[in-house]
């Protein structure tokens, strides 16, 4: 039987496979949670009427007695997860990022972050990935909201392989975690062997010091790397930082880029205010810097309604759009006096 929210989504062919639980990102999520449970971590998984959209039906099939269906009751789900965490269990709850970070902001802050309880919250279909569903379902403010909450770890993996690895690495984090994902279909960026140095709180570096450093997070890492390849063919040297951890933020990586690059371009599927670009700006404002900062993302508007691929192109969040931003930025001189 199809869950209530998911029944209305079957009209969109791009999402049908998500509903059937075939999105590789969500297979990685369930697999990591199954592995943690197999290893003895007292996982309890909950979702708000979206077990097919987020693939957690896989976990339910393996551990039905550790799975909770909350229905369309996201705020109750987060508060209940906080209660479950007080019993020695490690709850993982998941719903659309727009509902989790915006609708449940009070519950995340007061029930999990203030109390420092080990609740893990997965905000999936973040950014503009639910393009047809409009403003109520777009999450372009969630990084700004969650990174402003004390005690809360904020993660944004780039692909299913990194998602799996980061879920496993949250095992021993004492406090709560907000984990931001797309719709489970992010293109492959990494092999497991590429992530031997993956550490929460430390950016992954693609390339050597260069005149341009792109700092990307989550879904924007793949197109940023494509843009890097395109620009290399044009003689523009670019380093890409995968800022998979928004909090705790890798200040050292930004401080280094600010002294070795002429320009830093942040790229995020998010409002340019308060998210990744805001975090980078804060570091650069407080430290010596020769680089200029260009923030690229949703420019403080409510995103349009349409197919996600069209929206990425419209907002310049595809590879060519990112390359264009870098081309324009690269012709301007670096800051002087540092």
CA nearest to 284, candidates 254, 307, 260? 254
Structural domain for 145, as ranges? 4-180
* CB atoms inside a 10 Å sphere around CB 336: 6
Domains contained in the chain, number: 2
Q: In which band, very low, low, confident or very high, does the pLDDT at 29 lie, cut at 50, 70 and 90?
A: very high
Q: Does residue 286 lie within any of the structural domains?
A: yes
59 and 131 in a single domain? The answer is: yes
The more confidently predicted of residues 21 and 35 is 35
Provide, rounded to the nearest whole percent, the portion of the chain with pLDDT above 90. Answer: 86
CATH of the domain at 268: 3.40.50.920
The tens digit of pLDDT for each residue in 176-199 reads 999 999 988 889 999 988 899 999
The tens digit of pLDDT for each residue in 72-109 reads 999 999 999 999 999 999 999 999 999 999 999 999 99
Specify the pLDDT at position 3: 54
pTM for this model (two decimals): 0.91
Q: Does residue 74 lie within any of the structural domains?
A: yes
| Over residues 288-303, mean pLDDT | 95
8 and 104 in a single domain? The answer is: yes
Tell me the pLDDT of the chain averaged across its residues.
Answer: 92
- 3-class secondary-structure state, position 293: strand
| Cα–Cα dist 288/279, whole Å | 16
| Cα–Cα dist 52/101, whole Å | 20
Q: In which band, very low, low, confident or very high, does the pLDDT at 14 lie, cut at 50, 70 and 90?
A: very low
Q: Does residue 190 lie within any of the structural domains?
A: no
CATH of the domain at 35: 3.40.50.970
65 and 130 in a single domain? The answer is: yes
| Over residues 268-287, mean pLDDT | 97
**The tokens of 211 are what?**
């005149």
**The tokens of 126 are what?**
């973040």
Specify the pLDDT at position 6: 52
């Amino acid at each position: 039987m199809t869950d209530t929210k998911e029944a209305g989504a079957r009209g969109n062919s791009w999402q049908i496979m998500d509903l059937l639980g075939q999105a590789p990102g969500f297979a990685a999520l369930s697999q990591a949670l199954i592995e943690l449970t197999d290893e003895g971590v007292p996982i309890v998984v909950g979702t708000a009427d979206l077990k097919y959209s987020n693939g957690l039906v896989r976990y339910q099939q393996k551990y039905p007695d550790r799975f909770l269906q909350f229905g369309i009751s996201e705020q109750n789900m987060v508060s209940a997860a906080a209660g479950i965490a007080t019993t020695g269990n490690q709850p993982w709850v998941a719903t659309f990022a727009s509902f989790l970070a915006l609708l449940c902001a009070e519950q995340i802050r007061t029930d999990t972050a203030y109390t420092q309880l080990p609740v893990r919250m997965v905000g999936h279909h973040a950014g503009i990935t639910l393009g047809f569903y409009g403003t109520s379902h777009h999450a372009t403010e969630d990084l700004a909201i969650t990174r402003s909450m004390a005690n809360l770890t904020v993660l944004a993996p780039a692909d299913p392989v990194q998602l799996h690895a980061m879920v496993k690495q949250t095992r021993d984090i004492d406090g709560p975690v907000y984990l931001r994902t797309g719709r489970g279909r992010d293109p492959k960026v990494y092999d497991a062997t590429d992530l031997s140095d993956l550490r929460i709180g430390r950016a992954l570096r693609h390339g050597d010091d260069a005149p341009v450093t792109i700092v990307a997070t989550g879904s924007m890492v793949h197109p940023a790397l494509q843009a890097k390849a395109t620009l290399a063919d044009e003689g523009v040297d670019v380093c890409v930082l995968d800022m998979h951890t928004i909090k705790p933020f890798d200040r050292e990586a930004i401080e280094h880029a600010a002294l070795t690059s002429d320009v830093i371009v942040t790229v995020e599927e998010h409002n340019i205010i308060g998210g990744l670009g805001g975090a980078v700006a804060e570091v650069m404002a407080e430290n010596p810097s020769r680089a200029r900062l260009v923030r690229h993302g949703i420019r403080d508007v409510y995103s349009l309604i349409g197919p996600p691929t069209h929206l990425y192109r419209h907002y310049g969040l595809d590879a060519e759009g990112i390359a264009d931003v870098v081309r324009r930025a690269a012709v301007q001189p670096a800051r002087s006096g540092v």
